[in-house]
Amino acid sequence: MKKKIMITGGNGFIGTNVCKYCYKDGVDFLSIGKSGQSPIVFGHGIAIDILDKGKLVEVMKEYRPDVVIHLAGIATPVYSDFSQLYQVNVLGTEYLLEAMTEAELPSSTRFIMTSSAGIYGNQKPKFLSEELQPDPVNHYSFSKMIAEKITSHKMNEFEICIVRPFTVVGPGQVNRFFVAKLVEHFANHAKEIQVGNLKAVRDYISVEFCARVIYELAITQEFPKGIMNICSSSEYSCEDVIHVLEDITGEHPEIKSTADNIRANEIWRLVGDSSKLATFINGKFECESFESVLQRMLACVKV
- CATH code at position 69: 3.40.50.720
Q: What are phi and psi of 65, to 5 degrees?
A: -70, 150
Asked whether the whole model's pTM tops 0.85, one would answer: yes
Q: For residue 183, is it within any domain?
A: no
Q: Which of 75-84, 130-139, 236-245 has the lowest mean pLDDT?
A: 75-84
Q: For residue 213, is it within any domain?
A: yes
Please name the residues in contact with 193: beta carbons below 8 A apart, sequence gap of 6 or more.
182, 185, 242, 253, 254, 255, 256
Could you report the per-residue pLDDT of 141-188, keeping only the tens digit for each? 999 999 999 999 999 999 999 999 999 999 999 888 999 999 999 999
Cβ atoms of 92 and 75 within 8 Å: the answer is no
Q: Say how far apart CA 133 and CA 153 lie, in whole Å.
A: 17
Orientation of helix 238-249 relative to helix 178-187, angle to 10°: 30
Q: What band does 82 get if pLDDT is binned at 50, 70 and 90?
A: confident
Cβ atoms of 202 and 167 within 8 Å: the answer is yes
**CB-CB neighbours of 237 under 10 Å:** 16
Q: What is the distance in angstroms between the CA of the first residue and the CA of the last residue of the chain?
A: 46
Q: How far is CA 223 from the centre of its chain?
A: 19
Q: For the chain, what is the domain count?
A: 1
- Its domain, for residue 134, covers 5-168+207-231+272-284
Q: For residue 291, is it within any domain?
A: no
